[in-house]
Amino acid sequence: VKAVPAGWVSNALVHRAHPGDIIRLGPPTGSMTVDHTTDSGLLCLGGGTGIAPIRALVEDVAERGARRSVEVFYGARTDIDLYDIDTMLRLQQSHPWLSVRAIVDQQAHVQLPDAVREYGPWHEYDAYLSGPPGMIRSGVDTLRSIGIPSERIRHDSVEEIVLAQ
Protein backbone atom coordinates (compact mmCIF):
# COMPACT_ATOMS: atom_id res chain seq x y z
CA VAL A 1 0.00 0.00 0.00
CA LYS A 2 1.31 3.41 -0.96
CA ALA A 3 0.20 6.38 1.16
CA VAL A 4 -0.84 9.25 -1.08
CA PRO A 5 -1.39 12.81 0.21
CA ALA A 6 -5.16 12.94 -0.34
CA GLY A 7 -5.75 9.21 0.18
CA TRP A 8 -7.56 8.77 3.45
CA VAL A 9 -7.74 4.98 3.06
CA SER A 10 -4.09 4.53 2.06
CA ASN A 11 -2.91 6.81 4.86
CA ALA A 12 -4.99 4.95 7.43
CA LEU A 13 -3.60 1.61 6.26
CA VAL A 14 0.01 2.77 6.16
CA HIS A 15 0.10 4.90 9.31
CA ARG A 16 -2.52 3.46 11.66
CA ALA A 17 -3.02 -0.22 10.84
CA HIS A 18 -0.89 -2.80 12.62
CA PRO A 19 -0.11 -6.45 11.87
CA GLY A 20 -3.03 -8.55 13.04
CA ASP A 21 -5.60 -5.76 12.69
CA ILE A 22 -8.85 -6.80 11.06
CA ILE A 23 -9.74 -4.43 8.26
CA ARG A 24 -13.19 -4.27 6.73
CA LEU A 25 -13.52 -2.44 3.45
CA GLY A 26 -16.84 -1.41 1.98
CA PRO A 27 -18.01 -1.90 -1.56
CA PRO A 28 -16.39 0.17 -4.28
CA THR A 29 -17.94 3.54 -4.99
CA GLY A 30 -18.12 5.39 -8.25
CA SER A 31 -19.00 3.91 -11.61
CA MET A 32 -15.90 1.97 -12.57
CA THR A 33 -17.45 -1.06 -14.21
CA VAL A 34 -17.18 -2.08 -17.86
CA ASP A 35 -20.41 -1.91 -19.83
CA HIS A 36 -20.40 -5.30 -21.54
CA THR A 37 -23.60 -4.56 -23.45
CA THR A 38 -21.65 -2.49 -25.98
CA ASP A 39 -18.53 -3.04 -28.04
CA SER A 40 -17.34 0.57 -27.75
CA GLY A 41 -13.66 1.04 -27.14
CA LEU A 42 -12.43 1.92 -23.67
CA LEU A 43 -10.38 5.05 -23.05
CA CYS A 44 -8.76 4.75 -19.63
CA LEU A 45 -6.93 7.47 -17.71
CA GLY A 46 -5.07 6.29 -14.62
CA GLY A 47 -3.05 8.57 -12.40
CA GLY A 48 -0.54 7.21 -9.88
CA THR A 49 -1.93 4.25 -7.96
CA GLY A 50 -5.21 4.83 -9.81
CA ILE A 51 -3.78 2.45 -12.40
CA ALA A 52 -4.86 -0.51 -10.22
CA PRO A 53 -8.60 -0.13 -10.98
CA ILE A 54 -7.73 0.50 -14.64
CA ARG A 55 -5.74 -2.75 -14.69
CA ALA A 56 -8.79 -4.53 -13.26
CA LEU A 57 -10.91 -3.17 -16.13
CA VAL A 58 -8.34 -4.40 -18.67
CA GLU A 59 -8.30 -7.83 -17.03
CA ASP A 60 -12.11 -7.91 -17.07
CA VAL A 61 -12.17 -7.23 -20.82
CA ALA A 62 -9.47 -9.89 -21.35
CA GLU A 63 -11.36 -12.51 -19.31
CA ARG A 64 -14.49 -11.99 -21.39
CA GLY A 65 -12.53 -12.59 -24.56
CA ALA A 66 -13.67 -9.28 -25.98
CA ARG A 67 -11.60 -7.78 -28.75
CA ARG A 68 -12.61 -4.19 -28.19
CA SER A 69 -9.98 -1.50 -28.33
CA VAL A 70 -8.63 -0.44 -24.93
CA GLU A 71 -6.45 2.67 -24.77
CA VAL A 72 -4.72 3.30 -21.43
CA PHE A 73 -3.04 6.59 -20.58
CA TYR A 74 -1.05 6.24 -17.37
CA GLY A 75 0.07 9.49 -15.78
CA ALA A 76 2.69 10.05 -13.09
CA ARG A 77 4.96 12.84 -11.95
CA THR A 78 8.16 10.80 -12.35
CA ASP A 79 9.22 7.40 -13.73
CA ILE A 80 9.46 6.12 -10.15
CA ASP A 81 5.77 6.93 -9.65
CA LEU A 82 4.69 4.61 -12.48
CA TYR A 83 3.32 2.02 -10.05
CA ASP A 84 2.91 -1.41 -11.68
CA ILE A 85 3.96 -0.23 -15.16
CA ASP A 86 5.65 -3.59 -15.83
CA THR A 87 2.35 -5.43 -15.40
CA MET A 88 0.58 -3.01 -17.73
CA LEU A 89 3.28 -3.44 -20.38
CA ARG A 90 3.08 -7.25 -20.07
CA LEU A 91 -0.68 -7.05 -20.57
CA GLN A 92 -0.11 -4.91 -23.65
CA GLN A 93 2.27 -7.53 -25.08
CA SER A 94 -0.32 -10.26 -24.51
CA HIS A 95 -3.30 -8.40 -25.98
CA PRO A 96 -3.10 -6.73 -29.40
CA TRP A 97 -6.25 -4.72 -28.67
CA LEU A 98 -4.54 -2.96 -25.72
CA SER A 99 -2.38 0.14 -25.96
CA VAL A 100 -0.60 1.58 -22.89
CA ARG A 101 0.96 5.05 -22.94
CA ALA A 102 2.92 6.36 -19.96
CA ILE A 103 2.73 10.14 -19.56
CA VAL A 104 5.39 11.38 -17.15
CA ASP A 105 4.86 15.04 -16.20
CA GLN A 106 8.54 15.82 -15.70
CA GLN A 107 9.47 14.38 -19.11
CA ALA A 108 6.49 15.32 -21.24
CA HIS A 109 5.88 18.72 -19.63
CA VAL A 110 2.18 18.06 -20.08
CA GLN A 111 -0.56 16.86 -17.74
CA LEU A 112 -2.29 13.54 -18.41
CA PRO A 113 -5.67 14.94 -19.57
CA ASP A 114 -3.93 17.29 -22.01
CA ALA A 115 -1.87 14.43 -23.46
CA VAL A 116 -5.08 12.56 -24.28
CA ARG A 117 -6.11 15.41 -26.60
CA GLU A 118 -3.15 14.59 -28.87
CA TYR A 119 -4.59 11.16 -29.70
CA GLY A 120 -8.01 10.07 -30.77
CA PRO A 121 -10.67 10.78 -31.83
CA TRP A 122 -12.40 9.50 -28.71
CA HIS A 123 -16.06 10.44 -29.24
CA GLU A 124 -17.09 6.78 -29.73
CA TYR A 125 -15.23 5.49 -26.67
CA ASP A 126 -16.42 4.88 -23.12
CA ALA A 127 -14.06 6.69 -20.76
CA TYR A 128 -12.81 5.53 -17.35
CA LEU A 129 -10.77 7.66 -14.95
CA SER A 130 -9.05 6.62 -11.74
CA GLY A 131 -6.58 8.57 -9.65
CA PRO A 132 -6.24 11.78 -7.69
CA PRO A 133 -9.40 13.95 -7.51
CA GLY A 134 -7.76 16.84 -9.37
CA MET A 135 -6.78 14.57 -12.25
CA ILE A 136 -10.29 13.15 -12.43
CA ARG A 137 -11.86 16.61 -12.48
CA SER A 138 -9.54 17.94 -15.19
CA GLY A 139 -9.83 14.67 -17.09
CA VAL A 140 -13.62 14.81 -17.14
CA ASP A 141 -13.49 18.42 -18.33
CA THR A 142 -11.05 17.47 -21.10
CA LEU A 143 -13.07 14.44 -22.21
CA ARG A 144 -16.29 16.44 -22.35
CA SER A 145 -14.55 19.18 -24.35
CA ILE A 146 -13.41 16.65 -26.99
CA GLY A 147 -16.88 15.23 -27.47
CA ILE A 148 -17.37 12.36 -25.03
CA PRO A 149 -20.82 12.76 -23.47
CA SER A 150 -21.06 12.73 -19.67
CA GLU A 151 -23.07 9.51 -19.63
CA ARG A 152 -20.12 7.69 -21.23
CA ILE A 153 -17.60 8.89 -18.64
CA ARG A 154 -17.07 6.72 -15.55
CA HIS A 155 -14.70 7.46 -12.71
CA ASP A 156 -13.64 6.85 -9.15
CA SER A 157 -16.00 8.52 -6.74
CA VAL A 158 -15.09 12.14 -6.19
CA GLU A 159 -18.25 12.68 -4.20
CA GLU A 160 -19.98 12.33 -7.58
CA ILE A 161 -19.60 16.08 -8.14
CA VAL A 162 -17.53 15.80 -11.28
CA LEU A 163 -20.28 14.86 -13.70
CA ALA A 164 -22.93 16.85 -11.86
CA GLN A 165 -21.31 20.15 -12.83
Q: Which region among 30-39, 114-123, 135-144 has the lowest average model confidence (pLDDT)?
A: 30-39
pLDDT in tens, 18-76: 888 887 765 555 568 888 888 899 999 999 888 989 999 999 999 888 779 999 999 98
- What is residue 114's predicted lDDT score, i.e. its pLDDT? 83
- Name 45's bridge partners: 73, 129
Fold of 31-155: Rossmann fold (3.40.50)
- Give the range with max mean pLDDT: 1-5, 101-105, 109-113: 101-105
Residue 41's pLDDT is: 95
Of the pLDDT bands very low, low, confident and very high (cuts 50, 70, 90), residue 152 is very high
Domain ranges of the chain: 31-155
Tell me the pLDDT of the chain averaged across its residues. 83
User: Taking the model in full, what pTM does it have?
Assistant: 0.79
Helix 51-63 and helix 85-94, axial crossing angle in degrees, nearest 10: 20
Looking at residue 78, its pLDDT comes to 86
What is the layout of strands, in order, in the sheet containing 41-47? 98-104, 70-76, 41-47, 125-130, 153-155
* Band of residue 108 on the pLDDT scale cut at 50, 70, 90: low
| 53 prior amide bond cis, ω within 30 | no
Reported as a single tens digit per residue, the pLDDT across 75-86 is 988 888 888 899
Of the candidates 59, 117, 65, the one whose C-alpha atom is nearest the C-alpha of residue 92 is 59
Q: Which of 13-17, 125-129, 155-159 has the lowest mean pLDDT?
A: 155-159
